[in-house]
Structure 1
Amino acid sequence: MSGIYIGISGWRYEPWRGVFYPEGLRQRDELAHASRRLQSIELNGSFYSLLRPEDYRHWHEQTPRGFVFAVKGPRYLTHVLRLRNIDVAIANFFASGLFELREKLGPLLWQLPPSMPFDAERLDAFFAGLPRDTEQAMAIASRREAFMDGRDCLQAPPGMRLRHAVEVRHESFVDPAFVALLRRHDIALVVADTAGRWPFKEDVTSDFIYIRLHGDKELYASGYGEAALARWARRIAAWSRGTQPDDARLISPVPPAGAPGRDVYCYFDNDIKVRAPFDAMRLRELLGLPAAPVEPGQPNYPG
C-alpha cells in the first residue's frame, strides 16, 4: 500500500486537557505530545489568519521525523474574496512561512463556503493559478504586500511538489463536470463526512485521497464506533491500493485513471467531545499501521 497518514484537525482544544493530554502537561508541549501518538495534523490556524515563519519553524522543530502537516488555505481567499481577485492575498499566504515546515509539509486544503455554488469558470481559473511546486510558489510569494516585509519567508526547499485538495459544501457541485475539472487540474476532492449536512462524495480525482471526518451522526461531536471505523479502514485500504470501494458514492460514472497505489490523508475533526485523537489512533490500529513516529532518544511524554 502507499502512504497512509491518519491524524487530527488542530490540536489546541481545552476539553482535551486531562483526557488526551496528561494532567499537568504544559500547553506549549501539546503538539509534541500529539505528534508522538499520531502521524499527521491538519493545521487550521492558517485558515483564520496569516501565520508567521517562526510559527511554522517551531512546529517543525517540535515534531518527530516522518511527521506530516496538511495546511488549510485562508478563508480570506475562499470565504471573503470567494476566489475572485486573489492574486495579492494568495501571494501573502505563500510568503507567510509555510515552507518552514520543509519536508513535513503535506497537502494544501481549500475549503469552500456552503454558500458558494459550482462555477466552472471561476474554479478553473483558481485551480490553474495554484502552484504545483516550490519554485512556482515562490514566484507567487514574491508579489506579496509591503506589510509582509519582516514577517515573510521567500525561501523554500527546491523541487518540492505541492498537492491541493478542495472541500465543497454546496449541492451544485454534484456535477460530473466538476469531477472532470478536478481531474484535469489534478486536484483531490475531499471525502467529507459531515453527518449528512453537506455532500458526501468519493470520486477519485488525483493521485492522493484526502478525507475529513467531522462526525457521522453529530457534526464536530459524535465519535466513530468500531463498525464505522472498520468501514473506514476498508475504504482507506482500497484507495491506498489504487482501487476504490465497491460501494463508493460517486458523482461521475467515468472511472479514474488507474494507479498502483495512492497516498491517503485522513483527519478527524470531531473534536468537541474529545473523540478525534482516540478515533484516529484506533483507525491506525485497524489498518495495521505502526505506532506514530518517535525520534530515537526522545521520551514519549515531553517536558
Structure 2
Amino acid sequence: MNTTGTTNHPILIGCSGWSYPDWEGVFYPPGLHSGDTLAYYADRFPIVEVDSSFYRAPSPGMVRSWYDRTPSTFRFALKAPRAITHEKLLKDCDQAVEEFVSSILGLGEKLSCVLLQMGYFNRSAFGTQAEFLKVLDAFLARWPFGLVPLAVEVRNARWINDDLASVLTSHGAALTLTEQSWMPSPRQVAEQLDPMTGPFSFLRLLGDRQGIERVTTSWDRIVLDRSADLAETAEVIQSLARRAPVFVFANNHYAGHSPETVRQLRRILELPEPPPPERPRWTLFD
C-alpha cells in the first residue's frame, strides 16, 4: 500500500506504554537502565500512549522527566484517570479533571491528547445509551478543549452509532476506533458512520486479552498472525489521514509484542523511517 501523495496529514503510530521487562533483549538492548527506556523508545517511535495515568495523575517531576527525555517532535497521549471514568462515571468530577489536566500541562507541545477510556457499562451504571450520552454531553461541555484535545472510547458495542458520533462532533471530541474482540472493527465503524468527529482520529489495536493470555503471558514476540486485520485497518487509517492527523497505538495483547506490530503496520502503510534522533541512536549491539 503506497501512501505517497495520497495522505495530507501525519500518521503517528506507537505502543501502549514503553515500560515492559519482556522487551529487554528484544526491543531494548540488554542491560539498558530503566531510566533510559523512554529515550530509547522515543528515538524509534513518534508517539506513545501513557497507561500509568489511568491509575494516578503523574507528578510534576515525572512530567518534566518525560519532556526532557524525548525529542522535540515526540508526542504523548495520556489516559484520563479511572477515578473520572470508572469510579465517578463522568459525574461530579470537575475537581478531578482540573487536577489531572493541571498535572500534564507541563508536557507543552508534546501533549497530543487525552484518552477518555470508558469501561463496559451494565444497566446498574447506565440503563440506556441515552442516559449515558446525557452525562457524556454534560462532561464534554466542561472539558477544557482549549488546553487539551480529547478522544473518547466507548466499550458498549451497540453504542457505537450516529447518536454517539453526534454528541462527540458537537464538542470536537475524537471517536476512538478499536480492534478489540467484542467491538466493531474500525472498518465496520467507518462503513456505518462518519468516524471523524474531532480534529484528529484515534485508533487502538487492543486484541483479545483473555484469548492471547491462553497462548502467552510473555510479551517478547509475535504469537498471533494479525496481518489481515492490520491490512484492513491500514485502509481505514489511510482514508482518515486524508482528512486529519491519525494517532494509532498497539497493545502487547494485540499480537504478542507491540513494537513489532507497530513496525508491521508501518510497512503495510509504507511509511518512511523516523528521522534521525537528536542524540546518538542506541542499538542492540552497543
TM over 0.5: yes
Aligned to 2:114: 108
Aligned to 1:214: 206
Matching residue within 122, 125, 130 for 2:138: 125
Deviation string 1:1-35 (CA, Å, 9 cap, x unpaired) is: 20110000111112112221121111111111111
More helix by share: 2
Alignment map for 1:97-176 (pairs within 5 Å): 98-115=104-121, 116-117=125-126, 118=129, 119-134=132-147, 162-176=148-162
Rounded Cα–Cα distance in structure 2 between residues aligned with 1:272 and 1:172: 22
Contact 2:225 2:255 in 1 (8 A): no
> Identity across aligned pairs (percent)?
33
Q: Secondary structure at the match of 2:252?
A: coil
Unaligned 5+ runs, structure 2: 1-7, 217-222
Matching residue within 239, 252, 257 for 1:275: 257
Compute the RMSD of aligned alpha carbons. Answer: 2.3
Q: Secondary structure at the match of 1:214?
A: strand
Unaligned 5+ runs, structure 1: 135-161, 242-260
Q: TM-score, normalised by structure 2?
A: 0.81
Alignment map for 1:157-236 (pairs within 5 Å): 162-195=148-181, 197-200=182-185, 201-202=189-190, 203-215=195-207, 218=211, 223-236=224-237
**Are 1:88 and 2:88 counterparts?**
no
Alignment map for 1:241-280 (pairs within 5 Å): 241=242, 261-271=243-253, 274-280=256-262
1:173 Cα deviation from its structure 2 partner: 1.4
Query: What is the identity, as a one-letter code, of the residue corresponding to 1:167?
Result: E
